[in-house]
Amino acid sequence: MATAEIRSFSRPDRDQLAALVNAHVAAVAPGVQVSINTLLAQMEREPGEAIVDPWVVERRTLVAVERDALVAGAHLHRYGADERVGESYRGAAEMRWIVARPDASEAADALVEACLDLFADWRAVRRFADCSLPAPFCYGITESWPHLRELLVRNGFAHEGRVELILQAAVADVPRPGDVPLSGLELRRKVGAVGTRLSAVLDGEEVGMIEVEQLTSGGRNPESVIWGDVGSLCVVERQRRRGIATWLLGHAADWLGLGGVQRIADYAWPEQEDLLGVLHACSFRELTRTERGWVHR
């Protein structure tokens, strides 16, 4: 078997690396593709990470090549050590993402070893790993990437964070709102913190809300599935179990459908049984689950 060459990413690698990234995306989010430009842009800056991204003081991308074939790649962040950086990130290094062919475990191991060597050169006080690709639902280590989980465990990483469920439904399958669940309940729409906010208002008080947005990967093909996302869904405690959350989800599906959204996603922890009950009643089913918070021991 050929020994893998581990080196820094160069622009001629972009097509092969994008293809490898999209192979991982396709196992999680059907109908989504990451463009080469989107991938290259993430290597330089992540505007969506408004808090954490400014703390990054160095970025490196390494690749593993066997017989001219790119079989693995990793994007790394080094965080500053000054007071402006959050305490948990101060002086840390992160494998922002790693991708690898399942049949290239030796090359992937060599790549991780090179990443850890670089972390040592950076004198990182903490070392994290994730797979936050520039595509919807591709973060943490999802159950769709068992080869990446095995790779991290094999090289001394441990999962110390949470498990998160990612659920999805066809917009057409989400029950439509119908009659208001409470007399006098009104729907209001406005700009929200993370998207469009639909509020359930009773006697002038917001008793429930949902925020939704249309997702883009920056490189979606015109023929691909268009996804929407629930950023937040909540109902005040005294008004729960009265159908308000289901009513709001129905209105959200109507609203996203007007924009051509075909599928909608939401997120929950396994212990959030009430939320999962609402989502299942509205035709949501588990898309995948992901493990966040990988730390090198």
The per-residue pLDDT for range 54-88, each reduced to its tens digit, is 999 999 999 999 999 999 999 999 999 999 999 99
pLDDT-derived band at 47, boundaries 50, 70, 90? confident
Please give the pLDDT value at position 48.
84
Domain range summary for the chain, segments of one domain joined by +? 5-159, 168-290
CA-to-CA distance for 277 and 232, rounded, in angstroms?
Answer: 16
Angle, vertex CA 98, rays to CA 135 and CA 164, nearest 5? 60
Query: How far, CA to CA in Å, does 114 sit from each of 60, 79, 110, 118?
Result: 12, 18, 6, 6
Q: What's the pLDDT at 70?
A: 98
Residue 216 pLDDT: 66
Homologous superfamily (CATH) for 168-290:
Gcn5-related N-acetyltransferase (GNAT) (3.40.630.30)
Residue 280 corresponds to which amino acid? H
Evaluate if residue 31 carries a pLDDT over 80.
yes
| Cα–Cα distance measured from residue 95 to residue 113, given in angstroms and rounded to the nearest whole number | 12
More confidently predicted of 223 and 151:
151
Q: Per-residue confidence at 219, pLDDT binned at 50, 70, 90? A: very low
Q: How, if at all, do strands 205-214 and 294-296 pair?
A: unpaired
Q: Which two tokens stand for residue 220?
A: 């979606």
Which whole number is the average pLDDT over 91-99?
98
pLDDT, residue 2, reads: 64
pTM over 0.85: yes
Q: How confident is the model at residue 192 (pLDDT cuts 50, 70, 90)?
A: very high
Spatial distance between the Cα atoms of 27 and 44, rounded to a whole number of angstroms: 25
Two tokens, residue 278: 């609402």
CB 290 within 8 A of CB 140: yes
* pLDDT band of 215, cuts 50, 70, 90: confident
The torsion angles phi and psi of 205, rounded to 5 degrees, stand at -110, 135
Judged against a pLDDT cut of 70, whether residue 10 lies above it is answered with yes
The C-alpha atoms of residue 275 and residue 42 are separated, in whole angstroms, by 33
Say which CATH superfamily domain 5-159 falls into.
Gcn5-related N-acetyltransferase (GNAT) (3.40.630.30)
Alpha carbons 128 and 224: distance in angstroms, whole number: 33
Given a cut of 70, is residue 1 above it in pLDDT? no
Checking if the pLDDT of 217 tops 90, the result is: no
Mean pLDDT of 224-241: 90
What is the average pLDDT value for the chain, to the nearest integer?
Answer: 94
Give me the pLDDT at residue 223, please. Answer: 47
Residue 174: pLDDT band (50, 70, 90) is very high
pLDDT, one tens digit per residue, over 115-124 is 999 999 999 9
Beta bridge partners of 159: 294
CA 105 to centroid of chain Cα atoms: 24
Percent of the chain clearing pLDDT 90 (strictly above): 90
Does pLDDT of 218 surpass 80?
Answer: no
Q: Is the pLDDT of residue 280 over 60?
A: yes
Query: SS3 of 283, please?
Result: coil
Asked if the domains at 5-159 and 168-290 fall in one CATH topology, the answer is yes
More confident residue, 17 or 220: 17
Residue 220 pLDDT > 50, yes or no?
A: no
Closest listed residue to residue 29, CA positions, set 297, 224, 251:
224
Residue 297 pLDDT: 84
Neighbours of 290 (CB within 10 A): 24
Q: Which residue in this structure is represented by tokens 């992937």?
A: 108
- Over the stretch 135-173, which tens digit does the pLDDT of each residue have? 999 999 999 999 999 999 999 999 999 999 999 999 999
